Structure 1
Amino acid sequence: MADHLTSDVEKPGFAPGKGTHQYDENIEELVQTEVEVIELSEEEKSKVLRKIDWILVPQLTILYLLAFLDRSNIGNAKIAGMTEDLNLVGLDYNVALSIFFVSYSFFEIPSNIVLKIIRPNIWISLIMVVWGVIMTLMGIVQSYSGLLAARFFLGVAEAGLFPGATYLLTLWYRRYEVQKRMAWFYVGASLSGAFSGLLAYAIQKMDGIAGLGGWRWYGIFILEGILSAVVGFCIVFTLPNSPWTAKFLTKEQAQFVVSRLQVETGSGAGRVTNDDKIRLHHVIKALKEWKIWMGVICWWGNAITVYGFTYTVPTVITQLGYSNANAQLMTIPIYVAAMVATIVLAYISDRYQQRAWVIAGGFGFGSLGFLALLVVPHPRLPGLTYGMLFPAAMGIYAPLMPLLSWFANNLAPSSKRAVGMALLICFGNLGGGLVGSNIFLDRLKPHYYVGYGVCFAIMLAASATAIFLRTVYARINHKRDQLTEAEIRALYTEGELLDMGDKSPFFRYAL
């Protein structure tokens, strides 16, 4: 571990010196494009940020709500007749859940690389239309194999949205502004849980229309697939790509947004860039960043629990003695509570400029909910069991945006950030989806000891890992504090410092 810590701080004794550092040969072009920092009044600054908030964030929130709804409503479809109609037995349902995450995870990194090459509005629009078409076609599957094929290709199409949208937000907001916006974007996931319960209750009443079961209209998303495709087509005309090309900003306002991000190093000196062109060495640097791989453990605290929990909650509630229809409705308050917790924790994290402690605290709180679910006798005490679903859901959803913002804050330049964020999400979701989809097994109901136990353990592990990484980042920052600006500039050119990104001695990690 000591070697890792040392490698994050360039010391004068082994610094390459001016002109000898190996970096992107085109980086000097970025040095020449440095824009003058524009200072606006607080009123003007707030006006610009409000413009971005109202135009960018709501669109991304709607997109993610539709994406999460389209992938997770299979849990509601299960209790609405899908299992019987498709003759699913044994682990068939769990395999159908798992196969989505295989394709979904492996296509996240390639998707963010493509996002750096072509305009985000075109790429996000394209993948959304494709997954909308897939969802519509899923409404006519007649066999288990057809369900598997549809779930696999849905994962391919949806893979680019979450890493792409969260990366896009980092091009507009500073490090302690972006998390609040990510949180509002992410509430699409918790809102989808509430919305899906309400929609399931309503669309189940469509049973028999056009000769199709209600679960086909709802769970395999004929209606939602059409909606996703239509919204995806519209996004190409409405989603802004960057401050420079945003029609709703004046030239001065765009310069303000770009320039304030260029000096966001955390130390008050040096620069970072969002204008770099992606190169192979950015991908390699992200893959070699051991702290991202540690972050995957934190991500599992959300991914394993969210996918196991989301797909199982309706079934858990029905086993407490409630009807299928009422169980759908009773999921709504749980996800509303998770949404509120997500927003509150994000504001606390940005307000006090802390990431690790809110991550550790959030996962720790959620683990208590799963511990209670583990020991409460089922199906006795239905009120207590239902009540414990609330802290479990809040602890699942709320820490994720502080976690993602933390790594977004600590990765530079933007090409490394794009790959690094996708890497974190990719392997976090791959392990989380595969495990989470297979720990709540029907043969273990109504107790689900394995599911609740795994969720409890991984949330504690995520909490401990966050504290460990904070310690590492703090030690690196302390070492960098020992170098003066004059010493650093004597060792490196501006181009070298820019290309080093988060490895620059000027860069300070968010804690």
Structure 2
Amino acid sequence: MSEKMDRNDVTIIEDDLKGPVDERIERVQIQGGVDRALERKMLWKLDCRILPLLAVMYLFNSIDKSNLGNAKTDGLDTDLDLVGNQYNLLLSLFYIPFVMTAPGMNMLTKKFGAKRVLPTSMIIFGCMAMLSAAVKNFGGLLTTRWFLGMAESGFYPGVIFYLTTFYRRSELASRLSVFYAASVVAGAFTGLIAYGVFQIKSHLRSLTVASGLVAMFLLPRSSATAYFLTSEEKELAYYRMATDSSTVVDAKFDFRKAITVFKTDRLWPVYMCIAFSLMVPQLSVQLFLPQIIGRLGYATVKTNLLTVAPNVVGSIVTVLVALSSDYTGDRALHLASCLAVTCIGFIVLAAIDTAKHIAVGYFCTFLITSGAFITSPLLTTWYNNNTPDENQRAILTPVLVALGNSMGLVSSNIFRAQDAPNYVPASIITACFAGVGVVITLSLGYYMKWDNARRNRAEGTNLKARDVFTADLINGQKDHTESTSWVIDVFYTGQRSRGGVADTSTKEGSREIHVEGLCFGGDPCHRCIRQGQACRFEQDRVSAQASQRRNGSEELGSYAGSSYPTDAAYREPNRAGRSTTLEARMERMEAMMEAFLSALPGMSHIASPRASAEPEEMGRDVADYQGDTSFETPLEAFNANLAPIKLQLGIPTRANRDSTSPISPERARRTTILSPSHPFKESLSSIRVGARNLPFPSPARYAEYIDFFFEDINPCHPGINEAEFRSRSEKLLKNDTVDRSDICFLALNYILFASADLLVDVQPATGKSRLPGWRWFLAANELAGKRKISGRGDICMIQLLMFESVYLMHADKPNAAYNAIGIACRLCFQLGLHQQSCWSADCTEYGAHMRQRLFWTVYFVDRRISLSCGRPYDMHDLDIAVEIPVWISDKDTYPDQPLPTPDVNTSANMYLECMVAFGKFAGEVWDRLFSAGAAKNTNIDEIVPILDAKIKHWLDNVLPTIPLLPVNGPPSRTHLRQQTLVYTRMNHLRLLLRRRIMISLAYDHNTGALCGSIAMDIVSKLKVHEPEAIESSSFRFHMATTLGGAILILATLLSRPLSSIGLRENQPLYAESFQEGVKMLHDLAINFPAARRVANDMEDIVKVVTSILNQQSLSSPENGFSNYIPANMDSLFPYTAIDFMQQDELPDELLGEYIDSTGDGVMQSVDLGYYNFQPTTNGYSVAWI
């Protein structure tokens, strides 16, 4: 990976981050995916360099272990004066140290590498084998067998683990079978050369030691560091392991994490039972095949020669069955079939008299070798495929191998001397073990397929194991929520937390998205259309809506050339599903983006936008810059959906408000830190990037931008360190040319300019106005798309994407914001920010602190945007193990200095800690009430009070312990805003819990009183900040969304007679608070896009409630109140479709299916299949506030 971190590096802006998945994966993806020709060449090198050497090593291992059987046929018991069951004791004693030391030996293999441990083990057991030639009695041979068992214990599981770091899951069985066939060939060799070996007094065993010494120099440590691979092949090898073998490639050994496999993997006892069942037949064949063939009555030499053919056939069948298993993607049926063949062979041997049926008896030896030898490679491949964590594999493999080999105690004692020569009891016992193995294996395979089908139905997908990105797997098998799936067909993998593997290939100069076995396109997707196939999404829209969502290009493109979104754009459903992996969503976005771009004329690569509202000189700058060959690099895969889009965005606006607005446009034009009128045109300078000049503010204007950002935006999204940023900015301004390494930092600056321009703009929008700051936004994406992945600056890219999402959210572009923050989350996972153990050892104290800050900022922004969009969030708490940052000020925090003393008066991290708690509560609200799995929950009435009590407890008991206000001195405006933000956001969640019952107008006294009290309290707390409604600040977005939620609840309380539930006396209070909230929302809507959209959404219900209040005196009796309420009152409320992630108008042909069955004005829905969401007559593209 990267070199050791330099403390002088700007850790947060440009950084080397050592994580589980690094730039090598990105480079493979950017270059068009896996080069199949290069992959075949690399596999050929691995097969030729590793497998033969391992096969030779295991050949000697097997000869040293199993030659005792051949020695017995040549008079071993006579030479050593063995009596009774001493021979069986020699065989049994070997497995006691084998079982005891195997786990420890394999942990050494993981810690120090197979390159060192395997050859060392081989040298030791070679020496023990040579010493066995010098023994003179039973005791001496018993001692050498004990130490031989210890030396050989870690060899076989170590080789298995070693191979899992070189080959994909679908390649492992065939490669392991080639290696394992060496032991079978060893059986043939021992039989062929046994007679000669025991007659020649030479040092043949010294070959084992010599082979170990040679292997120590020839074996590579890992595929990514193999000396015989080129740099491209090493990157490809790393990519293959990260995408289809391990969650973290070359992870450091962690014993505590390793042993968790016995807690998280509930199936390891089943694997153990299968291992017990198959190892008895296998070890019986390995140890006693000469004795079994000896039943035929031949002499010693011929008996040993007759063992050759069954072993050769067994080795051939081993390889063929493994190839079939990898090709078909099946483990269970192949394993069960082989066990069945072995079982039949031993049954026949027990049933016949081999002296009379020699041919049949000899044929049975072919059956038992054909079935017994392949079972071990299949089983070890199966559970290694299902354990993506390398640490857990390092402990699980030796434990299961050792426990399986403990069955040698059974095999070595069932072939008793008194049962010779037919060994009928031994054959019956062995057949029983094989039969039990068949039953257990088939049962496990059936369970896996059943559970996979169940979870696929719950998720609306049809994923296969090969579609899952192993770098995005977790083993949280305790969690059986419907929102996460077990992918169980070829292999039994753990929970998929994020990421479905997608391979890409280049075809005729255009990148074609191809996912083997899975399609992530639209409905129908463009790839299926090109291939002339029917898309499964078109055939199953339920799956499409559960597993797809709109991409950023649709959101941006839907406003091109118009000042207001069309009804069709609003009616487009929000396809979302928590089951969809982030990797899958990104592949779909890239595919849809390319289809979108290819449909535009003149956009063969990245064309300038049509009907662009930007000045022409900017377009020329961008075009010239893109033609600069010195910086021409591929677009980054994770940013491809944002970089090429340069379409006009109009601000959604309805008819102009009447002239009686409480705040006039003239009053709104006030002086701010930055001039609100066309901030580009004044003091605009330029900066040189490569051979071209790009627009850039003058130093004075730049200082204003940065001051505003750190005064207003960063305290609420503390993902950037101020002291370090300003230091880096000074260096940037001193140079007239931007270095390649500074491109990402320059792009981050541009997005900060865009955010500042949007927030300082306080002018009322017109129909032809464009988003303030959009020009900077485009420039940021141009630069981000130019940056080549080099292992540096990826932290800066996360910051860039996060603040892009904040800008788009403030600009009322929630779909695009959702996509941007989703990509940022994906990068966090790829860089390992979600696991502090991945990077804490390689970070300075400052670097660790800033990673914590950045990760948790992305976390709560993801939850907040997801909540605003009504879509599943990307960061799941089960994946996260990161500490909360300490309370220090970023004004005094520098990379090359120790962290300052915590300062609650100036730090923004107390607010961040509160927002982390908000994010966790928001995630739990989604999971328990609004996710696809929660939609089937019938205990919602019990869940709501529990969630509300948790939030209330936090507000009453935890929040007072977090000093949001300074201890010394008066609070600043930022402190007061943060306190209001925390309190009102938490209470907004409490209202959201009960929104369903409130908008149904079927609430009771307690629910109505509680929600009314919370809503009025929100309005009163925001009333303190009413002057900020017309000021330049990010607080306006929070005011707009929270006011919308409070107004909605107050509207429900003013839309029905309250006397029946005992709240009539509160009606004047509700009305006053409602009017105050509407007034503040109107003030915000004049000059803030997000507030304008909320006001438009609330327009119908506000008009109706205002009409009711005007016609009915609040002080008069309520007798005629119901006369003023429309019959379809509940259908006027916006944001009603929170159950199914939809906010949509029903198709016209289905409107008749909604009937007023009760006569009380409440619309009841019948079962309409997948149109199972609540009706609304004014649906918009955002489901919630």
TM-score, normalising length: structure 1 = 0.84
Q: 1: distance between equivalents of 2:373 and 2:473?
A: 35
Give the equivalent residue in structure 2 for 1:19.
none
Contact 2:279/2:404 (8 A) holds in 1: yes
Say which of 154, 158, 161 aligns to 2:152.
Answer: 158
Alignment of 1:105-504 (within 5 A): 105-206=99-200, 209=201, 222-223=203-204, 225-264=205-244, 272-288=247-263, 289-430=265-406, 432-478=407-453, 480-481=455-456, 500=475
Percent of pairs with identical residues:
27
Cα deviation code 1:34-62 (max 9, x no counterpart): 73262343222111110111001111111
Q: 2: distance between equivalents of 1:43 and 1:341?
A: 29
Give the equivalent residue in structure 2 for 1:4.
none
Q: Which amino acid aligns with 1:316?
A: I
Q: 2: distance between equivalents of 1:391 and 1:496?
A: 40
Given the alignment of the two structures, is residue 95 of structure 1 paired with residue 71 of structure 2, yes or no? Answer: no
Contact 2:160/2:176 (8 A) holds in 1: yes
Q: Which amino acid aligns with 1:46?
A: R
The DSSP-based 3-state class of the residue aligned with 2:268 is helix
Q: Which amino acid aligns with 1:107?
A: T
Q: Which amino acid aligns with 1:508?
A: V
Q: 2: distance between equivalents of 1:84 and 1:496?
A: 58
Q: Which amino acid aligns with 1:331?
A: T
**Shift, 1:416, TM fit:** 0.7
Q: 2: distance between equivalents of 1:145 and 1:421?
A: 32
Contact 2:261/2:392 (8 A) holds in 1: yes
Give the equivalent residue in structure 1 for 2:819.
none
Give the equivalent residue in structure 2 for 1:35.
25
Contact 1:410/1:502 (8 A) holds in 2: no
Q: 2: distance between equivalents of 1:240 and 1:69?
A: 25
More relative contact order, 1 or 2 (CA 8 Å, 6+ apart): 1
**Shift, 1:506, TM fit:** 6.4
Give the equivalent residue in structure 1 for 2:12.
none
**Shift, 1:385, TM fit:** 1.3
Cα deviation code 1:63-101 (max 9, x no counterpart): 111101100000000111210011111110001000111
**Shift, 1:185, TM fit:** 0.3
Cα deviation code 1:298-327 (max 9, x no counterpart): 223332122222222222333422110111
Contact 1:128/1:157 (8 A) holds in 2: yes
Q: 2: distance between equivalents of 1:331 and 1:69?
A: 14
Q: 2: distance between equivalents of 1:476 and 1:264?
A: 22
Which region of structure 1 is more displaced relative to structure 2, 27-36 or 321-330? 27-36
Contact 1:413/1:502 (8 A) holds in 2: no
Which region of structure 1 is more displaced relative to structure 2, 95-104 or 411-420? 411-420
Give the equivalent residue in structure 1 for 2:618.
none
**Shift, 1:226, TM fit:** 1.0
Contact 1:262/1:272 (8 A) holds in 2: yes
User: CA 1:234–1:98 in 2, change beyond 3 Å: closer, same or farther?
Assistant: same
**Shift, 1:111, TM fit:** 1.2
Give the equivalent residue in structure 2 for 1:24.
none
The DSSP-based 3-state class of the residue aligned with 1:508 is strand
Alignment of 1:67-106 (within 5 A): 67-106=61-100
Q: 2: distance between equivalents of 1:29 and 1:309?
A: 46
**Shift, 1:276, TM fit:** 2.0
User: CA 1:386–1:484 in 2, change beyond 3 Å: closer, same or farther?
Assistant: closer
Cα deviation code 1:182-219 (max 9, x no counterpart): 0100001110000001111222433xx5xxxxxxx6xx
Q: 2: distance between equivalents of 1:414 and 1:340?
A: 30
Give the equivalent residue in structure 2 for 1:508.
487
Q: Which amino acid aligns with 1:234?
A: V
**Shift, 1:499, TM fit:** 5.5
**Shift, 1:500, TM fit:** 4.0
Contact 1:105/1:159 (8 A) holds in 2: yes
Q: 1: distance between equivalents of 2:199 and 2:471?
A: 63
Where does structure 2 lack aligned partners over 5 or more consecutive residues?
Answer: 1-16, 462-468, 492-1185
Q: Which has the higher helix share?
A: 1
**Shift, 1:348, TM fit:** 0.8
**Shift, 1:498, TM fit:** 5.5
Which region of structure 1 is more displaced relative to structure 2, 406-415 or 286-295? 286-295
Q: Which amino acid aligns with 2:309?
A: P
**Shift, 1:463, TM fit:** 1.2
Q: 1: distance between equivalents of 2:218 and 2:290?
A: 36
Q: Which amino acid aligns with 2:397?
A: M
User: CA 1:262–1:506 in 2, change beyond 3 Å: closer, same or farther?
Assistant: farther
Q: 1: distance between equivalents of 2:18 and 2:402?
A: 32
Q: 2: distance between equivalents of 1:455 and 1:495?
A: 38
User: CA 1:316–1:471 in 2, change beyond 3 Å: closer, same or farther?
Assistant: closer
Q: 2: distance between equivalents of 1:170 and 1:501?
A: 21
Give the equivalent residue in structure 2 for 1:51.
45
**Shift, 1:234, TM fit:** 0.8
Q: Which amino acid aligns with 1:99?
A: L
Q: Which amino acid aligns with 1:433?
A: G
Q: Which amino acid aligns with 1:372?
A: V
User: CA 1:409–1:503 in 2, change beyond 3 Å: closer, same or farther?
Assistant: farther
Where does structure 1 lack aligned partners over 5 or more consecutive residues?
Answer: 1-26, 210-216, 266-270, 487-493
User: CA 1:320–1:460 in 2, change beyond 3 Å: closer, same or farther?
Assistant: same
The DSSP-based 3-state class of the residue aligned with 1:347 is helix
User: Highest Rg: 1 or 2?
Assistant: 2
**Shift, 1:251, TM fit:** 1.8
Contact 1:243/1:258 (8 A) holds in 2: yes
Q: Which amino acid aligns with 2:415?
A: F
Give the equivalent residue in structure 2 for 1:14.
none
**Shift, 1:279, TM fit:** 1.8
**Count of aligned pairs:** 458
**Shift, 1:287, TM fit:** 2.8
Q: 1: distance between equivalents of 2:58 and 2:302?
A: 26
RMSD after superposition: 2.5
Q: Which amino acid aligns with 2:225?
A: T
